[in-house]
A and B are shown apart, each in its own frame.
Chain A
Amino acid sequence: MTENIDLTLLDWSRAQFALTAIYHWLFVPLTLGLSFLVAIMETIYVRTGSEEWKRITRFWMTLFGINFAIGVATGIILEFEFGTNWSNYSWFVGDIFGAPLAIEGIVAFFLESTFIAVMFFGWNKVSKKFHLTSTWLVAIGSNLSALWILVANGWMQNPVGMTFNPETARNEMVSFWEVLFNQVAVDKFLHTISSGYLIGSIFVLSISAWFLVKKREFYFAKRSILVAAVFGILASLMNAYTGDSSARTVAKVQPVKFAAMEALSEGKYNAGLVAFGVLKDSENKVGEKPLKDFHFKIELPGMLSILTAGDKDAFVPGISDLTKGNQSLNIMSFEEKKTRGMVARKALTDYKNAGKSGNIQLRDSLKGIFNDKSFRDNYFKYFGYASIAKAEDLIPDISGTFYSFHLMVILGFYFIFLFALTLYLLFKGTITQNRWFLMICLFSFPLPFIASELGWIVAELGRQPWIIQDMMPVSTAVSNISSGSVIATFLIFAGLFTTLLIAEVSIMVKQIKTGPKH
Chain B
Amino acid sequence: MIFRFFNLYIDGFRNLPSWGKKLWIIILIKLFIMFAILRIFFFPDILKERFDNDRQRSEFVLDQLINSPNNHD
Contact = CB atoms under 8 A, between A and B. Distances in A.
Interface of A: 1-7, 10, 62, 65-66, 69-70, 72-73, 76-77, 80-81, 83-84, 87-88, 90-92, 117-118, 120-122, 125-126, 166-170, 345, 348-349, 352, 383, 386-390, 393, 473, 475-476, 479, 481, 485, 488-489, 492, 496, 500, 503, 507, 510-511
A120 B12 contact: yes
B69 A122 contact: no
B26 A69 contact: yes
Given A1-B63, A168-B54, 4 more contacts: A65-B23, A126-B8, A389-B73, A510-B19
Contacts, number: 136
B35 to A, nearest CB: 8
B62 A73 contact: no
A345 B43 CA distance: 31
A121 B60 contact: no
B43 A389 contact: no
A4 B20 CA distance: 49
Given A476-B68, A507-B23, A481 B46 contact: yes
Given A1-B63, A387-B68, A387-B70, A117 B8 contact: yes
B7 to A, nearest CB: 9
B61 A475 contact: no
A81 B9 CA distance: 33
Contacts of B57: 91
Choose among B11, B46, B63, B71 the residue with the greatest number of A CB atoms under 10 Å from its CB.
B71
Contacts of B24: 69
A151 to B, nearest CB: 23
B31 to A, nearest CB: 6
Contacts of B61: 88, 91-92, 169-170
Nearest first, the 4 closest Cβ-Cβ pairs linking A and B are A121-B12, A80-B43, A2-B67, A87-B46
A500 B70 contact: no
Contact of B69 (A4, A393, A503): A4
Contacts of A166: 62
A389 B70 contact: yes
A167 B72 contact: no
Contact of A386 (B23, B39, B46, B68): B68
Contact of B64 (A70, A88, A388, A389): A88
9 contacts: A2-B68, A65-B23, A70-B26, A87-B46, A117-B8, A476-B65, A489-B43, A496-B33, A507-B23
Contacts of A80: 34, 38-39, 43
Contacts of B19: 62, 66, 507, 510-511
A479 to B, nearest CB: 5
A168 B45 contact: no
Contact of A66 (B23, B54, B62): B23
Contacts of A84: 42-46
B46 A389 contact: no
A485 B44 CA distance: 12
Interface in B10-38: 11-13, 19-20, 22-24, 26-27, 30-31, 33-34, 38
